[in-house]
Amino acid sequence: MRACSACRAELSPQARFCHRCGTAANGPAPQRASDRRTWLIAGGLCVALVAGITYKVSSSAPQTPVPDMANTGAGPPERAPDISQMSPRERFDRLFNRIMQAAERGESDQVERFTPMALGAYQQLDTVDADARYHAAVIHLQVGSLLQARALADTILAQTPGHLFGYLVRGTAARIEQDPVAERRAQQDFLTHYGRETAANRAEYRDHKPALDEFKQEAESVNRKR
C-alpha cells in the first residue's frame, strides 16, 4: 500500500492526490504558497463559506455526483457542470460553489480542475460587485495565488471603504504567508469597521455570515490577549 509522502496516510493504487492533505501522490508537492499549510488554512475558510453559501443557480441545474471519499481514484472522473445555458454570473457562482464543495472534502484535484473555469467565468462578468470579487479572491486563496487575492481585497476596499471582505481576505492571505503583523492589522481594521458595516445590512454579509463570524471571533481573541 502506498503512503503519502507528507502525512503518511495510506493511498489507493489509483490515487493521484492524498485524500487527507492534498499532496500529489507521486511525490512531495513543490514548496510554494499553495502547499499543505495553504490547504489547511484556506480549507478552513471554505468550511465556513460552504456553511453560508446561498445558491443563486436554479434548482434545475444538474447536480454533480459526490464520491464517498476524496481522491480515491475509483470510478470515472466527475463531469463538469453544464454551464452552457447559464448567464455569466450564474456560471461563475455555479463553479465557485463547486470549488468550495470540493475544497471542503479535500479534493485538491477537483479544485485545480475547476479553478481556471471559474476565474474565466469571472473575467466574463458584465458587472462585478464586492461579492463576486470576494468569491474570486477566495478561489485565489485556495490555490495559493496570494498576490491576486490581495489585489482583489484592495479593489473591494477602494470601491467600498471599510468593506469587511477586504480585511477578511487580507487577514487570511497574511496567515497563509505567516505574517502575523499583517494579519493583526487586518483583524484590527476588521473590528474597527465591523459595527458600521454590519449596520449597513449588506446582502453579501448575510450570505457569508459564518465566515465573517469566525474571523471576528479570531480577531477578538487576539485583541483580548494583547
Confidence bin at 157 (pLDDT 50/70/90): very high
- CATH assignment of 33-59+85-225, given 1.10.357.10, 3.40.630.30, 1.25.40.10, 3.40.50.300? 1.25.40.10
Per-residue pLDDT at 175 exceeds 80: yes
Per-residue pLDDT at 4 exceeds 80: no
Widest distance between CA atoms in the chain? 56
Residues facing 24 on adjacent strands:
17
Phi, psi of 21 (to 5 degrees): -120, -10
Kindly report the pTM of this predicted structure.
Answer: 0.68
